[in-house]
Amino acid sequence: MTEKGYLRILKWSFPFGILTRDLKLIFASNLIGSFGDGLYSYLLPYYIAESLNATSVEIGILYAVVSLVAALTLFLAGMFADKYDRKKIMIAGWIAWMPVPLIFSFARNWLQMLPGMILWGFWLGGPTSTAYIVTTADKNRLTLTFTVMSAAWSFGYLFSPALGGFLAETIGMQFVLSLAFLFYTIATFVLVFISSQRARESEQTTSKENHHLLKLLRDKKLIKFSVFFASLMFFLMMFRPFVPKFLADKYQYGDFEIGILGSILFFGSAVLGILLGKLGDKRKKSYALSTSLMLCSLSLALLLLSGNFYILIITFFITGGSYITWSLMSAIIGPTAPESIRAKWIAIPQTIAMFSSFIAPYIGGILYSASEYYPFIIAIVATLALALFTFHGLLD
């Protein structure tokens, strides 16, 4: 192979060079924080059911609370991020998460999990980091930039679910949760070193005059994004909290095996996310999102068809492609927003999506109680329909 060929392979395999210094620091913060998050978050529904004796409906209520709080905080975060330093808003988001694993570690029943779930729903970094990335990144490599940033979470989750499952079985879940607190603290500290960023002050007056909330809510493009994003998040949140429980109930897997499959899932998210990011920049962002949704539908079908561990490895790798839908939607929505109100603009569809999806885990819990298969069958049909909608350019 020629030297030029090797360089092309390196460029394809290691796309992190497209990140600026600030984005690399955010990448590092997300990587560290997600490692801590992955130690317990994938096992959490199973832990709540087995150790705290919560029913499927009660688990659904807890995750519905997370979505509801996220819906209430996303738009506020967008407003603050357009008015104040976006760096400080992102740091505040991690500070809100820091006590979450400690609260979970002291909980002795599902109701005592509620304060932690409320803080876990503070997604101050959602619209804020999206606006920061869009403003900072190369506009010609925006989809890849978002999926590379998303890969930070995927790489963080790569080994942590398996490690968390192993530690939970050998030492105890309380130790795992304390370790997660440590990683959250380090992730917060890393963000101290990124540059400050504010919306352009020269456009603030125009923004106030021309971009009132009611006027934004009548924008046809924003309405279309909001309805689609709301539908997408509803169906994703309806089944996701019950995947670990399904593995335990239907196929009798334990903490360690569930953790390994979680690690494989996020490995797939990192690999497939980068490939889909390249597809989005080379072709269309909507094609990348459509492919992500088709992978979701396919993986759920495989999950229901076989409990063989080796087939599940393939299944969960494919499932990883569906875990970057938020990043792909951010890449689609972000560039359409005026810089002076970018975070607020982005926060509107994110907020509406969370309001529509906050009841989804509760509905998923009811469906799961009726049959373990129901939430997944509905999600298979819904994600396939959304994929076809997106592929035919109806989101453009």
In order, the DSSP letters of 59-104 are HHHHHHHHHHHHHHHHHHHHHHHHHS-HHHHHHHHHHHHTTHHHHH
For the chain, domain boundaries: 17-194+214-391
**What span, in angstroms and rounded, lies between the C-alpha atoms of 288 and 328?**
7
**What span, in angstroms and rounded, lies between the C-alpha atoms of 37 and 159?**
11
CA distances from 354 to 12, 44, 194, 221, 316 (A): 34, 20, 28, 19, 25
pTM for the model stands at 0.72
CB within 8 A of 181, min separation 6: which ones? 36, 98, 99, 101, 102
Positions in the chain short of pLDDT 50: 1-3, 5-7, 9-14, 202-210
End-to-end alpha carbon distance in the chain: 40
Task: Write down how long the chain is.
Answer: 396
Q: What angle do CA 229, 231, 232 make, to 5 degrees?
A: 65
The alpha-helical segments, DSSP class H, found in 121-141 are 125-136
Q: What is the pLDDT of residue 219?
A: 64
Name the superfamily (CATH) of residues 17-194+214-391: MFS general substrate transporter like domains (1.20.1250.20)
Q: What is the pLDDT of residue 35?
A: 92
Q: What is the pLDDT of residue 3?
A: 42
**DSSP conformation class of 395:** T
Query: Is the C-alpha dihedral spanning 262, 159, 119, 146 positive or negative?
Result: negative
Which amino acid belongs to residue 123?
W
CA 306 from centre of chain: 26
SS3 388: helix
Cα Rg for the chain, rounded, in angstroms?
A: 20
Q: What is the pLDDT of residue 41?
A: 86
CB within 8 A of 13, min separation 6: which ones? none
Buried-exposed string 81-93: b where 16+ CB fall within 10 A, e elsewhere:
bbeeebbbbbbbb
Query: What is the widest separation between alpha-carbon atoms in the chain?
Result: 62
**DSSP conformation class of 321:** G
Buried-exposed string 354-374: b where 16+ CB fall within 10 A, e elsewhere:
bbbbbbbbbbbbebbeeebeb
What count of other Cβ atoms lies within 10 Å of the Cβ of residue 104? Answer: 26
pLDDT digits over 198-255, tens only?
876 544 444 444 455 556 666 677 777 788 888 888 888 888 878 888 888 888 887 7
Helix (H) or strand (E) holding 338: none
Q: What is the pLDDT of residue 374?
A: 92
Q: What is the pLDDT of residue 187?
A: 93
**What span, in angstroms and rounded, lies between the C-alpha atoms of 166 and 260?**
9
Residue whose C-alpha is closest to residue 156's, from 22, 256, 27, 47: 27
Q: What is the pLDDT of residue 156?
A: 81
